Amino acid sequence: KQEVTQIPAALSVPEGENLVLNCSFTDSAIYNLQWFRQDPGKGLTSLLLIQSSQREQTSGRLNASLDKSSGRSTLYIAASQPGDSATYLCAVEGTGGFKTIFGAGTRLFVKA
């Protein structure tokens, strides 16, 4: 059974800092891994999707990497801003079906 773990659970950083969020998954048989952002009481916004054959994806100040064999992904946020404050969720789509399994998220607070 696929398990997704995110470390740290919470993070508080000063504005401008570069930071890394970590995600690990137990079953490497995945189609893809997706990073989402969730603001309090809101829906999920897709940030980046990495296919199983890819190593990384970039969008603006965000860079996500995937090491499928070791079951790890990182989300790198450059030059963090207060507007980046949110919960970041990692989710994997397994090869066994149509469902996406989520981690518990990392709650990020960027101080101005």
Partner 1 sequence: EPEVTQTPSHQVTQMGQEVILRCVPISNHLYFYWYRQILGQKVEFLVSFYNNEISEKSEIFDDQFSVERPDGSNFTLKIRSTKLEDSAMYFCASSELANLGGNTIYFGEGSWLTVV
Q: Which residues pair with 72 in a beta bridge?
A: 24, 67
The least CB distance from residue 15 to partner 1, in Å, is: 27
Q: Does 2 bind partner 1 (CB under 8 A)?
A: no
Task: Produce one character per residue of 66-92: b if its CB has 16 or more CB atoms within 10 Å, e if not.
Answer: bebeebbbbbebeebeeebbbbbbbbb
Per CB under 8 A, contacts with partner 1 among 89-108 are 89, 91, 93, 97-105
Distance, CA of 31 to CA of 82 (rounded, Å): 33
Per CB under 8 A, contacts with partner 1 among 13-72 are 31-32, 34, 36, 41-46, 49, 51-53
State phi, psi for 83 to the nearest 5 degrees.
Answer: -70, -10
Q: Which is nearer to partner 1, 71 or 105 (CB)?
A: 105
Binding residues (CB under 8 A) for partner 1: these are 31-32, 34, 36, 41-46, 49, 51-53, 89, 91, 93, 97-105
